[in-house]
Amino acid sequence: MNAAPAVAAAGTSIVRIRDLVKDYRRGAETVRVLDGLSLDIRQGDFVALMGPSGSGKSTLLNLIGGLDRPTSGTLEVEGLRVDELSAGSLGRWRADHVGFIFQMYNLLPVLTAERNVELPLLLTNLDREQRMRRVAAALKLVGLEHRARHRPRELSGGQEQRVGIARAIVTDPTLLLCDEPTGDLDRKSGDEILDLLQALNREYGKTIIMVTHDPHAAERAHRVIHLDKGMLSEGSG
């Protein structure tokens, strides 16, 4: 297979993808979701991944986040070949380097906001006091310090997503991966979340990759990358 030209950006690449292929099996059929994709994302970038349903946006996000493995090709994050890590190492790598923000927030309903935010810190060596300090800082950053003891069902959708963002940033990860972060919110709440993501990118230098269907959300990104049938094309952000 011929390598497609890498969709590149100037500056230091934090994510370097080359000839990435991802096939899925559906019964006897093999479906190619990503077809020899190459891409560079630089440190501090805010990238929106757009494309029709089934174009491979979420698959690409999952591969970058180490939730799935490519069929072939290479995937480096900060110079580390993520595609070569074992399952156990991949879990630890995710805990250290990736913050996930999900469309449906994916908070644990039985835990309070602060306990949800604390979850990634449980994988570190921090003691409880240190963890709670970090949790308080993250909740303050997303403007929810007064809702720390509330459970998800006592929060609005926008607030739940902010808790999700606090959980994603509490370990100070290299990458923030957002899968339709405003997809389940009304316009006002969605805008607030996008403001927050922009602030995290601008003020804290977080590299953000965001999958979205919404052109309005994509406008906030520096770069908009379109995926269609497993192939990339770049538009302006």
Partner 1 sequence: MSLRAAFNQLVTVTAMNLRNLPSRVGTSLVAVIGIGGVVAVLVSLLSMGEGFRAALDLSGRDDVAMILRGGSPDELSSSIGREQYNAIVIAPGIARDGRGPIVSGELYSIVDLPMRSTGTGANVPLRGVGERGPELRDGFRIVAGRMFRPGQDEVIVGRGAFSQFENIDLGREVKWGSQKWRVVGVFEAGGSVSESEVWTDAVVLRGVYRRGNTVQIIRAQLTSAEALPVVRAALEKDPRLNVSVRSEKAFYSDQSRILLALIKYVGTTIAVLMGVGAVFAALNTMYSAVSSRTREIATLRALGFGAAPVVTSVLLESAVLGLLGGVVGGLLVYFGLNGYQATTLNFGSFSQLTFAFTVTPRLLVTGLGYSLILGIVGGLLPGIRAARMPVTTGLREL
| Sites of contact with partner 1 (CB under 8 A) | 58-59, 62, 65, 67-68, 87-88, 91-96, 100, 102, 104, 106, 108-111, 119-120, 122-125, 167
Q: Nearer Cβ to partner 1, position 46 or 93?
A: 93
Q: Nearer Cβ to partner 1, position 5 or 88?
A: 88
* Minimum CB–partner distance for residue 125 and partner 1 (Å): 5
Q: Nearer Cβ to partner 1, position 167 or 206?
A: 167
* Minimum CB–partner distance for residue 120 and partner 1 (Å): 5
Q: Nearer Cβ to partner 1, position 125 or 236?
A: 125
The span from the CA of 208 to the CA of 192, in Å, is 16
Looking at 7-71, which runs of residues are DSSP E strands?
13-26, 29-42, 46-50
* Minimum CB–partner distance for residue 57 and partner 1 (Å): 13
Instruction: Residue 182: name the closest of 103, 86, 106 by CA.
Output: 103
* Minimum CB–partner distance for residue 95 and partner 1 (Å): 3
b or e along 98-137 (b: 16 or more beta carbons within 10 Å of the residue's beta carbon)?
bbbbbbebebeeeebbbbbbbbbbeeeeeeeeebbebbee
Residue with tokens 């069929």: 71
> CA end-to-end span of the chain, whole Å?
30
* Minimum CB–partner distance for residue 62 and partner 1 (Å): 5
Q: Nearer Cβ to partner 1, position 111 or 137?
A: 111
Q: Residue 155 gets which letter from DSSP? A: S
